């Protein structure tokens, strides 16, 4: 979407999103002991770009998101073992960050669409958990 493209170009995922996530929910930092977690660090920028690219793949395969994210779903469930609750926290931080950077574009429809999209992606990334 246009809002998604602007969010990407504003580089929200490398700075403001992780800053908000780690400040509001410090327990999320435990998954990144090997990262430099200072806002805008090379680690966060690279990682943020990967996360956004995955979200882009999901958008491109909007009718088969689970197919597009199958590998990533296995990675999060079996290798990274990220507690599913963290997906809600990250989605919330993404939503709030986009809303606060682009208040005029963040209409009720945009809010609904982002909320739905992120919850579908989160469901798919956590569905392999046992």
List of residues contacting ligand ZNH (CB under 6 A)? 28, 31-32, 47, 50-51, 54-55, 72, 75-76, 80, 82, 86-87, 90, 121-122, 125
CB of 21 to ligand ZNH, least distance (A): 7
Query: Which C-beta is closer to ligand ZNH: that of 90 or that of 110?
Result: 90
* Chain centroid to CA 128: 18
Quickly count: other Cβ atoms within 10 Å of residue 93's Cβ.
22
Closest contact distance (angstroms) between CB of 34 and ligand ZNH is 6
Cα R_g (the chain), whole angstroms: 14
Which residue number, 31 or 129, has a Cβ lying nearer to ligand ZNH? 31
Q: Which residues of 109-125 are buried (b: 16+ CB within 10 A; e: fewer)?
A: ebeeebeebbeebbebb
């Amino acid at each position: 979407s246009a809002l998604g493209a602007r969010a990407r170009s504003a580089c929200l995922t490398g700075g403001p999103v992780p800053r908000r996530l780690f400040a509001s929910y410090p327990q999320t930092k435990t998954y990144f002991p090997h990262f430099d977690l200072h806002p805008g660090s090379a680690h966060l920028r690279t990682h943020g770009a990967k996360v956004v690219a995955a979200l882009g793949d999901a958008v491109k395969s909007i009718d088969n998101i689970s197919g597009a994210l199958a590998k990533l779903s296995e990675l999060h469930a079996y290798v990274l073992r990220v507690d599913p609750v963290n997906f809600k926290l990250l989605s919330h931080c993404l939503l709030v960050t986009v809303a606060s950077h682009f208040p005029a574009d963040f209409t009720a429809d945009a809010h609904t669409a982002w909320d739905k999209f992120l919850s579908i992606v989160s469901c798919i990334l956590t569905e392999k958990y046992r």
